[in-house]
Amino acid sequence: MTLRFILAGILWLAGLHGAEAGAWPRGKGNHFAFAALRGIGSEDGSLTPSFSYYHEYGLTDRLTLSADLGGAISGFEKTIIALSMPVPLPEFLGLKASMDLGYGEIDGQQVMRPGLSIGRGFAQPEGWASVDMVAEIFPDLLLVDWKVDMTLGMTARSGHKYYLQVQSGQQMGDPFFSRVEASVAWRLRDGLYLDVGAAAGLVSTDPYRVKLGVWREF
């Protein structure tokens, strides 16, 4: 409860009113918000709902504050606040990178979440590729979960975005899992998108998932 109160206060101070850090900084004063409802499928065909909310705010041109609420690698609910900053790379590589450090709770347990994101943008066709890696470290339990998401996306002339993501990871004590998700983000207006996707399980995970989300940049 205390952590959620602190989170609400930080977001209010950041300029939110009721309202990923990736490889690219958000930029001073800029927001990115994403809310999604997922249905997690089971072998018997039933769907279990899962809600998530993610928000970034550019504290400076280099420093990004993020809040991550919802499901975790373990499947339990989480509340995590993180700070992200760029990692310098040689310009000739054409890559962007950032590292972040988060702290919060998952299923009532304290957790630290370091992460590293590496990405590259493309001009023709307009798009991007990125790899996002995080570890969820539970100091009281001496457990570590990890996850890696690899994303390839394209922006059409209409402004719609199409992206494919391979999600993989492991909860400590469980087998490695992997799934692939295809998504379309329809541009409703400047900075506002409707995100629809579906995922298929590849290794040691639920057989399918569906997603309906909204994301906004402002």
E-strand ranges in 42-142 read 47-58, 64-71, 77-86, 96-106, 109-122, 127-138
Q: How far apart are the C-alpha atoms of 63 and 11, rounded to whole Å?
A: 15
Segment holding 217, helix H or strand E = strand 208-217
Map residue 87 onto helix, strand or coil.
coil
Give me the amino acid identity at 6.
I
3-state SS record for 152-209:
EEEECCCCCEEEEEEEEEECCCCCCEEEEEEEEEEEEECCEEEEEEEEEEEECCCCEE
User: How many domains are there within the chain?
Assistant: 1
CATH code for position 71:
2.40.160.40
pLDDT in 10s for each residue of the chain, 218 residues: 444 433 333 333 333 333 345 788 898 999 999 999 999 988 887 888 889 999 999 999 999 999 999 876 656 688 999 999 999 888 767 899 999 999 999 988 999 999 999 999 888 889 999 999 999 999 998 899 999 999 999 999 889 999 999 999 998 888 999 999 999 999 999 999 999 999 999 999 989 999 999 999 98
pTM: 0.81
Structural domain including 89 reads 2-217
